[in-house]
Amino acid sequence: MGLPLRKPEELFTYAYYVTWPDDERWELIDGVPYDMTPAPNRYHQYINVKIIYALEHFLKEKKCQVYAAPFDVRFPEANQCDDEILTVVQPDISVICDRSKLDEKGCKGAPDLIIEILSPATSKKDRIIKFHTYERFGVKEYWLVSPEDKSVEVFILGENGKYGRPEFYTEEKILPCHTLEGLNINLAEIFVEESA
């Protein structure tokens, strides 16, 4: 179907976003729409499931909850109501520890941990546009998972509100989660490919 007509200078808001067809996946960043097609490939989804399983197992009987895309994360500016929000993203994986941010629509406010699994179609957006968006709205920890390189870059939000230099982990390493104390992920188990 595509996007509704609007004036060139007009930004899209969450009010527009919720009217778009359910069979189309979009994100809004500062009022600009981003199409989320094509769908991720099989290995991307395989890694996604492995990470979610590790997180879900660790979080059992803990206050934090893990969610997989499609799951709307709304980033309001100041006291914006939902209809006025200009930034709505669907991270591959979100972990939210403050349950007051959760509602029937998804999450309103910054998750504690966001994980994006890179693909050729989304890599630039994840590394640049989403990086700055997550930093600006205060996501404490941001992982960029590269299926191609079998590696993970971890960004931690500093006291200055900025991400520092990334920590870099390859498939033979154990990845410690800073936000979820005690969680250590064996990347060899995440990146192992199933035999055909």
The CATH number of domain 40-191, selected from 3.30.750.24, 3.90.1570.10, 3.40.50.700, 1.10.3720.10: 3.90.1570.10
Distance between CA atoms of 69 and 182, rounded to whole angstroms?
Answer: 25
93 token code pair = 């994986």
Q: First CA to last CA across the chain, in angstroms?
A: 37
Cα-Cα-Cα-Cα torsion 178, 184, 187, 189, nearest 10 degrees, comes to -150
Exposed e or buried b for every residue in 125-164, given b needs 16+ CB within 10 A? bbeebbbebbbebebbbbbbbbbeebbbbbbebeeeeebe
pLDDT in tens, the chain (196 residues): 455 544 455 799 999 999 998 888 899 999 999 988 778 889 999 999 999 999 999 999 999 999 999 999 999 998 899 999 999 999 999 999 999 999 999 999 999 999 999 998 889 999 999 999 999 999 999 999 999 999 999 999 999 999 999 999 999 999 999 999 999 999 999 999 765 4
The pLDDT assigned to 79 comes to 85
pTM score, two decimals? 0.92
Exposed e or buried b for every residue in 178-187, given b needs 16+ CB within 10 A? ebbeebebeb
Whether the Cβ atoms of residue 89 and residue 75 lie closer than 8 Å to each other: yes
Sorted by where each begins, the domain ranges of the chain are 40-191
The DSSP element (H or E) to which 86 belongs, if any, is none
